[in-house]
A = this chain, B = another copy of it.
Amino acid sequence: MNKTPTPKGFKFAVHKAYFRKGERNDLALVVSEYPAQVSALFTANLFPAAPVLVAKEYLALNQSVRAVIVNTGSANACTGQEGIDNCKKSTQLIAENLGIKASEVLPASTGVIGLQMDMPGWEKAAPLICQKLGTAELEDFAEATMTTDAFPKFAGMNLKLKNGTVCLAGVAKGAGMICPNMATMLSTVLCDAQIDKKDWDLIFKQAVDQSFNRVSVDGDTSTNDTIYSLVNGASGVKPEKDELELLQNALTKILKELAYLLVKDGEGATKVLFIKVSGTKDNAEAEKVARTVGHSQLVKTAMYGKDANWGRIVAAAGRSGVNFDPNALRLVFCGVELFKNSQPTKLDFDSLLKKPLEETDLMIELFLGDGDGHYELLASDLTHRYIDINADYRS
């Protein structure tokens, strides 16, 4: 396997701090050699976890940061003032060992809600993981942030510009509680270009909107959803103004790849549904229909069962609350037109769809009229394994 391209000037470390049961490392650190400009997005949940609150406080103090520390085991959410104090303490422990300020260390946590962090464990782990800095790769970082994830998620690419080559890479974790509203589970994106903060903010926001904000596993927006993007200038390459779009396209590509992997690894998922809705009055209507279809338990289980039960898709669109002309609805599933003019087409869809339904990626296209609105959502199916995982998470 080729090594994922990794931006210059970032070092990684991972550690087993016994915060989470199991064999894997459960603490992950990335440090930038130079102050890195940062853009971030967080959960819209009314109960943001302590690390979300602390990170927002730190980002109000600093334009740049030096590190991101991610722990699993405890989500440090719904933990009150004690949780906030613990979170700050954890960043302080890392900062001391790196010789930087606590507010230059961005925290992220994932795991059980309501469980306080193991602070004696942090006291022990902080010096050890900082000593190990530089001994891990991007892939190890991704793996150490996993909880119920089945595989680590990372992507990276080099981008040739007029003044030289820059590199972008990202990692993400999160298989359940995934329906980001404003940000996503935990993701860290790194880039070594030289770029103005306000340009990077815009590029980042647009790329997230095209990727993470368009996936759904179970409709549950977590208390901890966080995405950090650090850009440290270590390549020495400054994109020209007319190259910012290239950079944005590259970042969007990486985040889309990560978003796809998140859905593919949706807890117990066996399918990735590409739900494309178009022809509505506006994009918001298309999104509403796409999310209703993508969240429908009946659609999700039919896809898991490799059952071309298209009636469930039409019924979900019909209860979305969007007021379209039912006679206008046309459904194309895996390239086969199944429904139009308020009734099924006469195609032998069971035999036509037998093979496509064996694939992982399933395309659901809904055309709802002449409007310009459109939206694409990636959603997972709903499986026995999802129930296994979530009926037995804490125990």
Binding site for B on A (CB under 8 A): 44-47, 75, 77-83, 112-114, 176-177, 181, 218-223, 295-298, 301-302, 304-305, 307, 309-312, 314-319, 323-324, 326, 339, 341-344, 382-384, 386-388, 390-395
Q: Is the CB of B323 within 8 A of A46?
A: yes
| A338 shortest CB reach to chain B, Å | 8
Known contacts A113-B312, A339-B78; A391 and B318 CB within 8 A of each other:
no
Picked from B78, B296, B343, B391, the residue with its CB within 8 Å of the CB of A307 is B391
Bound together, the chains give a CA A342 to CA B388 distance in angstroms of 30
For the complex, would chain A's binding face be called helix, strand, loop or mixed by DSSP majority?
loop
Copy number in the complex reads 2
Q: Is the CB of A223 within 8 A of B315?
A: yes
Nearest B residue to A296, CB-CB: B220
Known contacts A113-B311, A114-B344; A298 and B177 CB within 8 A of each other:
yes
Closest 7 CB pairs of A and B: A113-B311, A305-B391, A80-B343, A301-B390, A46-B318, A47-B318, A221-B319
| A385 shortest CB reach to chain B, Å | 9
Give the chain B neighbours of A112 by CB distance below 8 A. 309, 311
| A39 shortest CB reach to chain B, Å | 23
Bound together, the chains give a CA A78 to CA B343 distance in angstroms of 5
| A46 shortest CB reach to chain B, Å | 4
Q: Is the CB of B310 within 8 A of A114?
A: yes
Q: Is the CB of B83 within 8 A of A343?
A: yes
| A322 shortest CB reach to chain B, Å | 8
| A263 shortest CB reach to chain B, Å | 15
Most-contacted residue by chain B among A75, A221, A315 (CB, 10 A) = A315
Give the chain B neighbours of A384 by CB distance below 8 A. 384, 387-388
Known: A112-B311, A222-B315. 5 other contacts (CB 8 A): A75-B311, A78-B314, A78-B344, A112-B309, A113-B311
Bound together, the chains give a CA A344 to CA B115 distance in angstroms of 9
